[in-house]
Chains A and B, each alone.
Chain A
């Protein structure tokens, strides 16, 4: 395929492979060369992928022991779409930040960090974006028990342990 050949010549370390899935182009690259490959895709002379529509992550620890970072790219010139996937290791999930290439990656990377704990190196401000600072762990990992709760204030079961009468009655 043309795009994979082009990328193999421009950024050989990325070891790009293109496939199609459900009518869309899927490009798999090596995480180590992700930044160079993405810079190239952004700056191609004809048909640059100048919009990052979404950035997410998939937990594939159970089958492949990896997290897959997924970028959805689009070319504003021709409307062509491309899904780029890069795998990071389960025990040390790190990948270069693309926030300097596309501004829209900033919050997407913060969300992926918040939910999956993937560390985006070179991100300007890698903090939790949705959950609170005190939260421990990364809830969308399959290893995070769905029953686990981390409340910030003391909770009581109002049926087994009703509110004291002084809270309900006139004083």
Chain B
């Protein structure tokens, strides 16, 4: 039986939660937030070779339509204020991926007078991707981990416990 003809007749059963989570995780729009050298690797991840579009991810230039903020690069104290404002502008549900040593913990600049050692001091982070810079494969794995995490969420249950994959 050919698939083409059978699909219109098919019935799929699923949980509403699972379907909602599946739709959300399959259209993650990420805000372009490159701060330093890691941004080059983030662009590479979005580029044709390790194509992020196949996960339904599209880069956005404004926080107001984004679901995900990939903090790629060194977060200076001057930028930390802007980062907080941009994060607050994103609509719920929102996720943060911290990419690279610099945004994880300050990296090799953590003793500098002007560098915020860790973006998690400013905003909550869902996935940390180590590396200086992380390769596109590493960032892709981090994003897949985030998708796994999203599949375990229960948005329709009040105060459901959060299970992390």
Report the stretch among B42-50, B59-67, B119-127 that lies at the interface: B119-127
Does B159 belong to the interface (CB within 8 Å)?
yes
Instruction: Kindly provide the distance from the CB of A140 to the nearest chain B CB, expressed in whole angstroms.
Output: 9
Please give the number of chain B residues whose Cβ is less than 8 angstroms from any Cβ of chain A in the complex: 25
CB interface residues, B 98-140, toward A, < 8 Å: 111, 113-114, 116, 118, 120-122, 124-126
Does B81 belong to the interface (CB within 8 Å)?
yes
Report the stretch among A31-39, A101-109, A142-150 that lies at the interface: A142-150
Q: Considering the chains assembled together, what is the distance between the CA atoms of A144 and B113 in angstroms?
A: 9
Q: Per-position contact with B for A12-48: 1 when CB-CB < 8 Å, else 0?
A: 0000000000000000000000000000000000000
Docked-complex contact B116 and A170, CB < 8 angstroms: no
Whether A170 contacts B160 in the complex (CB less than 8 A), given A146-B111, A157-B121, A158-B121, comes out as yes
Docked-complex contact B77 and A151, CB < 8 angstroms: yes
Q: Per-position contact with A for B62-91: 1 when CB-CB < 8 Å, else 0?
A: 000000000000000110110010000000
Q: Per-position contact with B for A153-165: 1 when CB-CB < 8 Å, else 0?
A: 1011110000101
Does A91 belong to the interface (CB within 8 Å)?
no
Docked-complex contact A170 and B153, CB < 8 angstroms: yes
Does B8 belong to the interface (CB within 8 Å)?
no
Docked-complex contact B77 and A150, CB < 8 angstroms: yes
Contacts of B157 in A (CB 8 A): 170
Contacts of B77 in A (CB 8 A): 132, 149-152
Q: Considering the chains assembled together, what is the distance between the CA atoms of A92 and B113 in angstroms?
A: 24
Docked-complex contact A155 and B113, CB < 8 angstroms: no
Please give the number of chain A residues whose Cβ is less than 8 angstroms from any Cβ of chain B in the complex: 24
Does A169 belong to the interface (CB within 8 Å)?
yes
Does B92 belong to the interface (CB within 8 Å)?
yes
Contacts of A139 in B (CB 8 A): 113-114
CB interface residues, A 112-135, toward B, < 8 Å: 130-132
Q: Considering the chains assembled together, what is the distance between the CA atoms of A146 and B121 in angstroms?
A: 19
Which of B113, B155, B162 touches A149 (beta carbons < 8 Å)?
B113
Docked-complex contact A153 and B113, CB < 8 angstroms: no
- Determine the residue in chain B with the shortest Cβ distance to A115: B113
Instruction: Kindly provide the distance from the CB of B118 to the nearest chain A CB, expressed in whole angstroms.
Output: 7
- Determine the residue in chain B with the shortest Cβ distance to A157: B121
- Determine the residue in chain B with the shortest Cβ distance to A161: B121
Instruction: Kindly provide the distance from the CB of B120 to the nearest chain A CB, expressed in whole angstroms.
Output: 4
Docked-complex contact A152 and B154, CB < 8 angstroms: no
Q: Considering the chains assembled together, what is the distance between the CA atoms of A50 and B80 in angstroms?
A: 40
Docked-complex contact B121 and A152, CB < 8 angstroms: no
Docked-complex contact B116 and A171, CB < 8 angstroms: no
Whether A170 contacts B162 in the complex (CB less than 8 A), given A132-B78, A152-B77, A153-B84, comes out as yes
Which of A130, A152, A156, A169 touches B80 (beta carbons < 8 Å)?
A152
Which of B92, B111, B120 touches A158 (beta carbons < 8 Å)?
B120
B contact set with A: CB distance below 8 Å: 77-78, 80-81, 84, 92-93, 111, 113-114, 116, 118, 120-122, 124-126, 153-155, 157, 159-160, 162
Given contacts A167-B124, A168-B162, 5 further A-B contacts (CB under 8 A): A132-B78, A148-B113, A153-B122, A155-B121, A169-B159
